[in-house]
Amino acid sequence: MGLFHADYFKRPANSGVTKSGGAWMSEWVGNAKDDATKAVIINNMNISKAPTTFLSNDFVSTALHELGHGLHGLFSLAQHASLEGTNVPNDFVEFPSTFMEDFSVHPEVLANYAKHHVTGEPIPADQLKRVIEASKFNLGFETLEYTAAALIDIEWHSLSLEKLEEIFAKFPTKGEAIAHFEHEILTKHGAYSPFVPPRYKTQYFAHSMTSYSSRYYAYIWSEVLAADAFRYITELAPNKGLNRENGDKIRKHVYSTGNTRDPMESYIAFRGSEPTTDALLLRRGLSVEKQ
């Protein structure tokens, strides 16, 4: 199928070899079927190596996230390099990887690694419950501040040049025009709260105005897909649970298709329907009741 290379540890300070910070997946060789080569995929992290290395839940979750990207590259069955693996829209790049994160606290998976380093005892259920509950602290605030920033991002990039000039012409300064526009947009979408401002204001929203260009929403949309898919496999699928049937299903319809068809078609082929936001809200400890 291909070669998977794992480079999980920081470079020693005295090694003379540098390494970028953070965690990422790279595709050294693609898995396109228009030639005879096999995929070569690497996952990188920056874990401090020690005689005894303990991993936080964040490290484990990140490792699974990057593994999701790795599988996306390895499982590709697309014919052409431009359509294979992770050459898909931003939200569908992050969906297969974000989907993997919740397995870090799934009981069946957890039993394989979350053990006391001396006694070998598994993590107690009540302690695990407290860890999961603590991870949901303040997510109502974080969800709204992120969504507000994403909405502003999309609205700016939906404007015509004429409409943009019209907005600026109504106010003596661009700063006042921007502030009015932001307030108007958030009010329109029911996302305005003086207590929960957007994570980023337009004037310093580098994600929106430079490299991402109206794609900031993609992260939360990928989480909608991931949460819905995880809930489907673990709770709603006809043969629910961690089994080969469900693994093959998401591999066939999501991980292997690349950009050979509309991503929503791929998701529906796997799930049987479009996603809703219910699973995301539950994942974040929020209510799914409609107001």
Catalytic residues: 66
**173: how many CB neighbours lie within 10 A of its CB?**
9
Q: Which of 142, 273, 280, 149 is nearest to 217 (CA)?
A: 149
3-state secondary structure of 99: helix
Provide the Cα torsion 193, 197, 203, 209; round to 10°.
-90
| DSSP H or E segment with residue 184 | helix 174-188
First to last CA, the chain: 49
Is the separation of the CB atoms in 20 and 6 below 8 Å?
no
